[in-house]
């Protein structure tokens, strides 16, 4: 739909866009300032803060651990969640709504509460080591993305293609791996990226489940920020923004961002 | 019954995972608060403490102002985006998603740079001789509201764009032909069609603002505690797990209440045809 655009609305649109991006641009600018205290306007130009990232062992190990946890949790969520979505969309399950609600329940409970509950009952209660509990927490975060994004995709996927495969003599399992999976691989990759971003960036759950022996990047930055206020944080922020940009670019190539919008919309309705 | 067994096998791993690792721990957390010895007493004494009351009212107030601010700011912006060509609209949707998908530490660090003692705003105010001393903005309720509006802006806008795009244009045209002016048409035709998304968006954002952790932690700190930061402080810093569990239960109730309200609204407006 198009109407005559009002100039005031256009002006407002550009102004908000500017306000939306200005804070992030500011972070980028400050990462190049040569003074240890961040002031405006910045003085000089240096790349030493980027080099300083590497001399912070917590940032380096934190990045590695966060990366590994995010990959593991996203992978687990897809492997465990995909069969469930397939069953719900294809096999005429009774009380499918009830199952949906259970699978989406990680979005119903505030993250900070999930973190506290996991810490209390799994770490303190049955004395599980931190790492598996941390992965469990991030897995729980990822499941709803798999359920929502994949349900949307499978409902659009033409079931007659599967039937054709069955009629040609392929078993249901073979059909699933040779026909269904290749057709939804783009969506699966988009889901993986979305879960990865969410897990990699998570703070509320991670905060309860990291420790001296288990450093995660976001909480490491948080700790650093409590004692220092220098452009190292700006520099590491720029790296994280580049990572986010890369992920979004990949996802856009999978046409997956449309699914993200869908996810946001459903959040309010379910 | 082989068929049924396969369905169970497909559903079971996710089901067990969520029940065992989410529902069970959460139930274990809240049950003692509800049914424990003298649990009513502890809950009410928690609510009676002036300090806690202050935090509860602050949390509600911040969420309320955030939601109101978002409605005012996001609505015209969503209108602007919805009226762009499809390609531009897609690009803009990407741009506004970027801050939301960026790490919360990064997002809030940006606001610390802007609102802090030696931040951008204070530097500008002092250079222009509007103030002589830095104004305290960071670690106040205002800072939290700003951070939360920044966080939820993309959510609200995305929710509104879709329903604005799918507005039934013919009704508007019919009203125009019947002689209704632009203002009348906006309030009598356009706005009623958007009520559902405005309401659901508001509730979603309100609940999100009440339960968000990282933003109030970084921009409010200990001088402006809200329920979520109180939960972390009570449990990990002070080691008072009983108080922390009470806060956790309160947060769960808030989240569940907002969900039920959203369900009722969508059901009522879509005439009981909710999917």
- For each of the domains in chain A, give its residue range(s) and CATH number, in order of start: 65-214+257-269 (1.10.3720.10)
* Whole-number pLDDT of residue B258: 84
Quick check: A106 and A192 in contact, CB under 8 A? Answer: no
* Whole-number pLDDT of residue A174: 87
- Determine the average pLDDT of the residues in A235-252: 92
Interface test with B, best of A5, A21, A23, A217 (most B CBs within 10 A): A23
B133-178 tens-digit pLDDT? 888 999 999 999 999 999 999 999 998 988 888 887 788 788 888 8
Contact A264 B118 (CB under 8 A): no
Domains of chain B, by residue range, sit at 40-269
Alpha helices in chain B (DSSP H): 2-18, 24-35, 39-48, 50-82, 86-101, 104-115, 120-127, 141-165, 169-177, 182-185, 191-211, 214-219, 227-232, 241-269
Q: How far apart are CA A176 and CA B13, in angstroms?
A: 18
Three-state DSSP class for A95?
A: coil
A14-33 tens-digit pLDDT? 999 999 999 999 999 999 98
DSSP letters, B148-184, are HHHHHHHHHHHHHHHHHHT--HHHHHHHHHTT--HHH
DSSP letters, A111-127, are HHHHHHHHIIIIIIIS-
Calculate what percentage of chain A has a pLDDT beyond 70. 92
CB contacts of A225 in chain B (<8 Å) are 105, 109, 112, 218
**Distance from A111 to chain B by nearest Cα, in Å?**
8
Q: Average per-residue pLDDT in chain B? A: 88
- Closest-approach residue (CA) in chain B for A243: B102
What is the ipTM, given to two decimal places? 0.89
Contact A140 B158 (CB under 8 A): no
**Distance from B216 to chain A by nearest Cα, in Å?**
12
Quick check: A237 and A83 in contact, CB under 8 A? Answer: no
Size of interface A-B (CB pairs under 8 A): 253
B85-126 tens-digit pLDDT? 888 888 898 899 999 999 999 999 999 999 988 889 999 999
- Closest-approach residue (CA) in chain B for A125: B25
- Closest-approach residue (CA) in chain B for A255: B90
For the ranges A101-105, A175-179, A231-235, B188-192, the lowest mean pLDDT is seen at: B188-192
A156-168 tens-digit pLDDT? 888 888 888 888 8
**Distance from A102 to chain B by nearest Cα, in Å?**
7
Say whether pLDDT at A209 is over 60.
Answer: yes
Burial class (CB in 10 A: 0-12, 13-18, 19+), B258: buried
Residue A259: pLDDT band (50, 70, 90) is low
Q: How far apart are CA A81 and CA B120, in angstroms?
A: 46
**Distance from B158 to chain A by nearest Cα, in Å?**
7
Of the partner residues B3, B93, B251, the one whose CB lies closest to the CB of residue A110: B251
Contact B251 A113 (CB under 8 A): yes
Contact A268 B197 (CB under 8 A): yes
Quick check: B220 and B143 in contact, CB under 8 A? Answer: yes
Q: How far apart are CA B154 and CA B101, in angstroms?
A: 10
**Has domain B40-269 been given CATH number 1.10.3720.10?**
yes
Contact A99 B79 (CB under 8 A): no
- Determine the average pLDDT of the residues in B209-221: 94
Say whether pLDDT at B2 is over 70.
Answer: no
Calculate what percentage of chain B has a pLDDT beyond 90. 47
Bridge partners, residue A211, by sequence: A214
Three-state DSSP class for B135?
A: coil
**Distance from A25 to chain B by nearest Cα, in Å?**
9
């Amino acid at each position: 739909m198009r109407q005559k655009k009002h100039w005031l609305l256009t002006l407002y649109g550009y102004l908000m866009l500017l306000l939306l991006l200005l804070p992030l641009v500011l972070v980028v600018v400050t990462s190049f300032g040569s003074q240890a205290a961040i002031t405006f306007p910045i003085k000089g130009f240096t790349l030493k803060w980027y080099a300083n990232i590497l001399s912070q062992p917590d940032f380096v190990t934190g990045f590695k651990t966060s990366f590994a946890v995010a990959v593991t949790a996203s992978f687990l969520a897809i492997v465990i969640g995909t069969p469930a979505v397939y069953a719900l969309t294809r096999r005429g399950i009774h009380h499918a709504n009830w199952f949906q609600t259970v699978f989406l329940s990680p979005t119903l409970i505030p993250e900070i509460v999930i973190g506290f509950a996991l810490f209390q009952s799994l770490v303190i209660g049955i004395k599980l080591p931190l790492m598996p509990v941390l992965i469990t927490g991030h897995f729980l975060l990822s499941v709803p993305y798999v359920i929502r994004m994949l349900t949307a995709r499978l409902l659009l996927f033409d079931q007659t293609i599967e039937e054709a495969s069955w009629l040609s003599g392929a078993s249901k399992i073979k059909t699933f791996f040779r026909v269904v999976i290749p057709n939804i691989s783009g969506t699966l990759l988009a889901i993986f990226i979305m879960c990865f971003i969410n897990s990699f960036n998570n703070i509320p759950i991670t905060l309860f489940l990291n420790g001296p022996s288990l450093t995660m990047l976001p909480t490491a930055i948080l700790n650093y920020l409590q004692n220092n206020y220098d452009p190292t944080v700006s520099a590491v922020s720029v790296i994280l923004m580049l990572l986010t940009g890369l992920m979004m670019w990949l996802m856009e190539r999978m046409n997956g961002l449309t699914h993200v919008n869908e996810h946001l919309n459903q959040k309010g309705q379910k | 019954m082989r068929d049924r067994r396969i369905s169970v096998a497909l559903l079971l791993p996710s089901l067990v995972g969520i029940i065992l690792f989410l529902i069970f721990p959460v139930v274990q957390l809240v049950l003692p608060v509800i049914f424990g010895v003298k649990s009513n007493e502890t809950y009410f004494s928690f609510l009676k403490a002036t300090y806690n009351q202050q935090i509860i009212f602050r949390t509600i107030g911040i969420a309320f102002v955030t939601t109101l601010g978002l409605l005012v700011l996001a609505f015209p912006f969503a209108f602007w985006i919805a009226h762009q060509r499809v390609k531009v609209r897609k690009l803009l949707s990407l741009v506004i998603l970027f801050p939301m998908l960026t790490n919360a530490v990064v997002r809030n660090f940006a606001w610390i740079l802007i609102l802090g003692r030696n931040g951008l705003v204070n530097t500008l105010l002092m250079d222009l001789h509007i103030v002589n001393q830095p104004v305290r903005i960071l670690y106040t309720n205002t800072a939290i509201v700003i951070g939360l509006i920044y966080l939820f802006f993309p959510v609200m806008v995305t929710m509104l764009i879709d329903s604005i795009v799918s507005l039934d244009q013919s009704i508007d045209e019919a009203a125009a032909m019947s002689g209704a002016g632009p203002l009348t048409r906006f309030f009598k035709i356009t706005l009623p069609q958007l009520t559902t998304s405005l309401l659901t968006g508001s509730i979603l954002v309100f609940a999100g603002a009440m339960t968000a952790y990282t933003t109030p932690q970084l921009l409010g700190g200990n001088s402006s505690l809200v329920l979520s930061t109180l939960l972390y402080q009570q449990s990990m810093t002070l080691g008072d797990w009983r108080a922390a569990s009470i806060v956790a239960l309160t947060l769960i109730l808030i989240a569940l209440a907002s969900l039920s309200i959203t369900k009722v609204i969508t059901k009522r407006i879509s005439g009981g045809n909710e999917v």
